[in-house]
Amino acid sequence: MVGGPVDRLAVGAHYGARDWLAQRVTAIVMTLYTLLIALIVLWHGGLDYATWKAMFASAAFRVSSFLFMVSLLFHAWVGMRNILMDYAKPTSLRLALQIVVVCVLVAYAGWTAQVLWGGP
């Protein structure tokens, strides 16, 4: 993994310090949110519709959830791209699959906004 800077191919998983860092920062955001949810559920000793609804009525909770989803989608992009770089060797195939992944992620993002702010 730690090759010299000379003679390195500009392809292969885990290149790009910025993406590497993003993968870590998003991982921490998602872990914190996961713990938050787990704590809320444990605190209430389970969930019911009224509590659940009240949670999402809070603007702070919606913003946290949005932050979580943005982290998740970005993280999934970097991760899936790493995987494709390892297995989808022909450039055309890799590009095609990356476009599929991006389209899916954009759809997820739109769906997220609808869930968080489009509801009654």
Cα–Cα distance list, 24 to 11, 29, 106 (Å)? 20, 9, 21
* Cβ neighbour number for residue 80 with a 10 Å cutoff: 17
- If one asks whether residue 27 binds ligand HEM (CB under 6 A), the answer comes out as yes
- If one asks whether residue 13 binds ligand HEM (CB under 6 A), the answer comes out as yes
Which range, of 24-32, 57-65, 90-98, 111-119, touches ligand HEM by CB under 6 A? 24-32
Q: Is the dihedral of CA 38, 43, 46, 48 positive or negative?
A: negative
Q: Which residues of 37-69 are buried (b: 16+ CB within 10 A; e: fewer)?
A: eeeeeeeeeeeeeeeeeebeeeeebeebbbebb
What track of x and - describes contact with ligand HEM for positions 68 through 87 (by CB under 6 A)? Answer: ----x--xx--xx-xx----
**Residue 7 interface partner, choices other proteins, ligand HEM, none, CB cut-off 5-8 Å depending on type:** other proteins
**Residue 15 interface partner, choices ligand HEM, other proteins, none, CB cut-off 5-8 Å depending on type:** none
For ligand HEM, the binding residues (CB under 6 A) are: 13-14, 23-24, 27, 30-31, 72, 75-76, 79-80, 82-83
